[in-house]
Homo-oligomer: A and B are copies of this chain.
Amino acid sequence: MRITCFIGSSRENGNTEILTDIVTKDIQHQKINLRKLNIKPIHDLRHDVNGFQPVDDDYDQIIEAFMESDLLVFSTPVYWYTMSGLMKNMVDRISHAIRDNRYPQFREQLKTKNAIVVTVGGDDPYIKGLPLIQQFKYTFDFLDINFPAYIIGEGHRPGDISQDKQAITQANLLNEKLKEVIAKGSF
């Protein structure tokens, strides 16, 4: 099972990344730090006579990571009660990617994918992070992506996440679960 973690934080080693690292501990995976890529906001040309136009940035790396992975980990801090702008631009561009002639199988291949969301927030995330989870659910449903698990953690200052026992425990459980999934080959 190939795994890619998309890290949406603007900070190095932020709480969300630490929590995500527990989920993937001792499991082979690649990590894409969105802050290190140049991803432009979508220009919605769905209804333009010429359709979407090629964009000169790093988004192809995202498309290719989606295509070659079985499990996509969306790892984002809660910024203003939803995903970071970095991650949002990545997600928005899916609308383009599923209509990109260079990747005619992309839309269909998504239907075989699994997704996990890991998110950490500072302002009552166990309550105020719930709409974010609902939005990811709608997104994955639209794309027919399986969504077996999410983890919400609480943390304000760097490293705080280590004190959220519940989130740490959930991350360890999910790590064990992923190892089982890898052993048997499917969710």
Contacts and interface: CB of A to CB of B under 8 A. Distances in A.
Interface residues of A, number: 51
A105 interface: no
A106 interface: no
A85 B82 contact: no
A94 B82 contact: no
Contacts of A81: 134-135, 138-139
A110 interface: no
A84 B92 CA distance: 7
A127 B165 CA distance: 22
A130 B134 contact: yes
Nearest to A11: B44
A63 B58 CA distance: 29
Contact of A85 (B88, B123, B127, B131): B88
Contact of A47 (B45, B92, B157): B157
A45 B157 CA distance: 11
Interface stretch (A24-32, A35-43, A65-73): A35-43
Interface string A81-95: 111111011011011
A128 interface: yes
Given A10-B42, A170-B166, A82 B47 contact: no
Contacts of A147: 127
A51 interface: no
A2 B86 CA distance: 31
Interface of A: 9-11, 14, 35, 41-45, 47, 77, 79-86, 88-89, 91-92, 94-95, 123, 126-128, 130-135, 137-139, 142, 147, 149-150, 157-158, 165-166, 169-170, 173, 177
